[in-house]
């Protein structure tokens, strides 16, 4: 099945840490059996509301193919990462 992971990363961290955070997310997806098809880096955007005293976040959209159990495994790992403010994994219609 096709999925899309929307990711909001802390915009106040350094570029190399942000890149490492996104790479860690990609590794998490592949470890859960996912096959990444596309990564869109949208960049810094104003948040709709303050999250952890921050008004700006770095947005990423990662499309991947995976089995139906994979999103739950991925989300469990993303919840414990410090530099990720918010995430949402949705199934894309075929």
pLDDT tens sequence across 4-44: 999 999 999 999 999 999 999 999 999 999 999 999 999 99
Q: What is the CATH number of the domain that holds 31?
A: 3.30.70.60
Q: In what order do the strands lie in the sheet with 2-10?
A: 35-51, 54-65, 2-10, 84-91
- Give the torsion sign (CA, 64, 70, 71, 74): negative
pLDDT tens sequence across 41-64: 999 999 999 988 899 999 999 999
What is 78-92 written as a DSSP string? HTT-TTEEEEEEEEP
Q: What are the backbone angles phi and psi of residue 24, rounded to the nearest 5°?
A: -65, -40
Give the number of domains in the chain.
1
pTM of the model: 0.91
Which residues, listed in sequence order, are joined to residue 7 by a DSSP beta bridge?
A: 60, 87
Q: Which domain holds residue 83?
A: 2-91
């Amino acid at each position: 099945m096709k999925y899309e992971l929307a990711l909001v990363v802390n915009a106040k961290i350094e570029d190399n840490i942000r890149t490492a955070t996104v790479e860690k997310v990609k590794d998490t997806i592949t470890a859960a059996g996912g096959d990444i098809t596309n990564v869109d880096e949208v960049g810094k955007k104003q948040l709709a509301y303050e999250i952890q005293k921050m008004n700006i976040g770095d947005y990423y959209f990662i499309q991947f193919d995976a089995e139906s159990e994979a999103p739950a495994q991925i989300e469990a790992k993303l919840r414990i990462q410090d530099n990720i403010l918010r995430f949402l994994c949705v199934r894309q219609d075929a």
